[in-house]
């Protein structure tokens, strides 16, 4: 005879199975509707795994120098060849994913929080505050981005964490300035809704209204913008590393690999091809994932592709 505990266990198992079935159906529908977005999501998961546990994928120590193996082309021993110091290029690209993921996700988290706060406050209050803030945003947008980042890194390079923190903060500030206008437009639309007027009439304060009503309703904009800006942040980090302002050696970085390959492009083109492909597929994947998320969350865009 079944007991009450057995009945609860069977009910819990049934709920778990139902949840897994719904998750599988949702995943399958997403893959079928947005194949490029599914590719981007799969590649993003692979990058995260490479960043968290690079030893699962690497075939050699990325910093080990074997001078007798300098400038070797792709082979069974070195899949992507070796660089000027005889280091395994494939393993360096695998470990370089950690740098790109840390910078990319760090920039997106900081910029998402900063742009949400600035955009929601500016859009909700409006008036003189919004006017002054938008003029400051205009100044920020007009700043030469690369020069600002380099100056910021130079000025704050002594922060804990080396150059990683200044890079994340400087790039996040630039992205947040631009995204704050997108969030502001959503906040302006939400503040005119009837449920906001009702909350205000019931005595809710501005802070409570922004946290409970405005922010949840602009979260889709934040999520879409963040998924797209990951690729931009990784591309900026690679450009900084190419110019010599990225994460200092011996930490592998895709941009620095391209910089080191400049003088050997004719003799050893693989030194630039493989890091370039890593950057290309990473940025492309996150952009495709961001487009799919945007189409999924914005009902106006469904069926337009």
- Kindly give the interhelix angle for 215-243 and 164-191, rounded to the nearest 10 degrees: 150
Q: Is residue 129 part of a domain?
A: yes
pLDDT in tens, 165-184: 888 888 888 888 888 888 88
Distance from C-alpha of 59 to C-alpha of 90, rounded to nearest angstrom: 8
Residues 116, 184 contacting (CB under 8 angstroms): no
- Angle, helix 35-52 to helix 4-33, in steps of 10 degrees: 110
Residue 235 resides in a domain = yes
pLDDT value for 287 = 81
Instruction: Over range 181-209, report the average pLDDT.
Output: 78
Question: Distance (Å, rounded) from C-alpha 201 to C-alpha 241?
Answer: 54
At 3-21, the pLDDT tens digits run 545 544 455 555 556 656 6
**What rounded mean pLDDT belongs to the chain?**
78
pLDDT for 249 equals 73
85-95 average pLDDT score:
85
The DSSP letter of residue 299 is G
- Domain extent at residue 277: 33-301
Number of domains the chain contains: 1
Calculate what percentage of the chain has a pLDDT beyond 90.
Answer: 0
Residue 4, classified by CB atoms within 10 Å of its CB into exposed (0-12), middle (13-18) or buried (19+), is exposed
Give the DSSP letter string of 3-50: -HHHHHHHHHHHHHHHHHHHHHHHHHHHHHH-HHHHHHHHHHHHHHHH
Residue at 119 is within a domain = yes
Cis peptide before 250 (omega within 30 of 0): yes
* pLDDT the model gives residue 159: 67
**Mean pLDDT calculated for residue range 174-202:** 81
Look at residue 8 in the predicted model and tell me its pLDDT.
Answer: 43
In a domain, 18, yes or no: no
Residue 104: is its pLDDT beyond 50? yes
Q: What is the pLDDT of residue 303?
A: 45
Please indicate, yes or no, if residue 144 is contained in any of the structural domains: yes
What average pLDDT score do residues 41-55 get? 85
CATH number at residue 74: 1.10.3720.10
Is pTM beyond 0.95? Reply is: no
Tell me the pLDDT tens digit for each residue of 201-248: 777 777 777 777 787 878 777 877 777 788 788 888 888 877 777 777
Triad 220, 226, 232: Cα angle to 5°? 150
> Is 20 domain-assigned?
no
Residues in the chain, overall count = 305
Classify residue 15: in a domain, yes or no: no
Per the domain annotation, does 131 fall within a domain?
yes
């Amino acid at each position: 005879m079944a007991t009450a505990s057995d009945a609860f266990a069977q009910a819990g198992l049934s709920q778990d199975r139902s949840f897994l079935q719904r998750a599988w159906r949702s995943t399958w529908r997403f893959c079928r509707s947005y194949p490029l977005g599914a590719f981007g999501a799969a590649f993003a998961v692979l990058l995260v795994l490479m960043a968290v546990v690079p030893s699962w994928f690497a075939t050699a120590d990325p910093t080990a120098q074997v001078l007798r193996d300098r400038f070797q082309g792709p082979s069974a021993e070195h899949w992507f060849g070796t660089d000027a110091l005889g280091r395994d290029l494939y393993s360096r690209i695998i470990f370089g994913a950690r740098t790109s993921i840390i910078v990319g996700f760090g920039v997106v988290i900081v910029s998402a929080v900063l742009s949400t706060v600035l955009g929601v406050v500016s859009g909700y209050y409006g008036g003189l505050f919004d006017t002054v803030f938008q003029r400051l945003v205009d100044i920020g947008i007009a700043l030469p981005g690369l020069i600002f980042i380099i100056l910021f890194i130079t000025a704050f390079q002594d922060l804990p964490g080396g150059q990683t923190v200044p890079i994340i903060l400087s790039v996040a500030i630039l992205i947040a300035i631009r995204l704050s206008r997108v969030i502001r437009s959503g906040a302006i639309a939400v503040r005119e809704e009837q449920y906001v007027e009702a909350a205000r009439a019931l005595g809710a304060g501005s802070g409570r209204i922004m946290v409970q009503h405005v922010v949840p309703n602009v979260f889709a904009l934040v999520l879409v913008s963040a998924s797209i800006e990951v690729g931009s942040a990784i591309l900026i980090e690679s450009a900084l590393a190419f110019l010599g302002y990225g994460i200092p050696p011996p930490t592998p970085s895709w941009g620095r690999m391209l910089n080191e390959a400049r003088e050997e492009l004719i003799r050893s083109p693989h030194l630039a091809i493989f890091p370039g492909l890593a950057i290309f597929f990473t940025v492309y994947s996150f952009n495709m994932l961001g487009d799919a998320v945007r189409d999924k969350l914005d009902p106006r865009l469904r069926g337009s592709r």
